[in-house]
Amino acid sequence: MRAVIQRVNEASCTVEGKITGEIGQGLLVLLGVEDADTEEDLKWLAQKLVNMRIFGDEQGLMNKSVMDVQGGILLISQFTLFASTKKGNRPGFTRAARPDKAIPLYEQMLKELENLTGRKTEAGIFGADMKIRLLNDGPVTVVVDTKAKE
């Protein structure tokens, strides 16, 4: 799994003119799933997301997690995070998991984040044409790949 994590003051996802998820302060997480991903990857990444200290403390240092600031999480499926750009100018997506594998892992990530935070995780709609609005805070953007955890 690969995640692009953005610290935001606010973020929302709209599909066909309807808001499917929105948060105030928190994390916008773009999540890519590949065929090699397992439940172990999912659990490791979920823990990383809720505990990553990228919010400012009283001295302005990044010492607080989304849990510490009672922030929200907006989770968006993003198969293009596994784009291959080695040949030509058109990206290939052969590493991205097909929907029959990716959808259950995406839905499981939603549940895992809710279990860890005790709050609803906001979301987009898998495979939909989503419009994402965000007010990036910092900006702070971090990329995490479960295959690079060691």
Mean pLDDT of 53-60: 96
User: Closest Cα partner for 79 from 106, 56, 51?
Assistant: 106
The highest-level CATH class for domain 2-148 is: alpha beta
Distance spanning both ends of the chain, measured CA to CA: 14
Per domain, the residue ranges of the chain are 2-148
Per-residue pLDDT reduced to its tens digit, 93-148: 888 999 999 999 999 999 999 999 999 999 999 999 999 999 999 999 999 999 99
Quick one: pLDDT at residue 48? 97
9-27 confidence digits (pLDDT tens): 999 999 999 999 999 999 9
CA 124 to mean position of chain CA atoms: 11
Active site residues: 78-80
pLDDT the model gives residue 57: 96
Of 75, 73, 81, which Cα lies nearest the Cα of 32?
81
Residues forming beta bridges with residue 114, ordered by sequence position: none
pLDDT beyond 80 at 150: no
What confidence category does residue 149 fall into, taking pLDDT thresholds of 50, 70 and 90?
confident
Structure letter (DSSP) for residue 70 = T
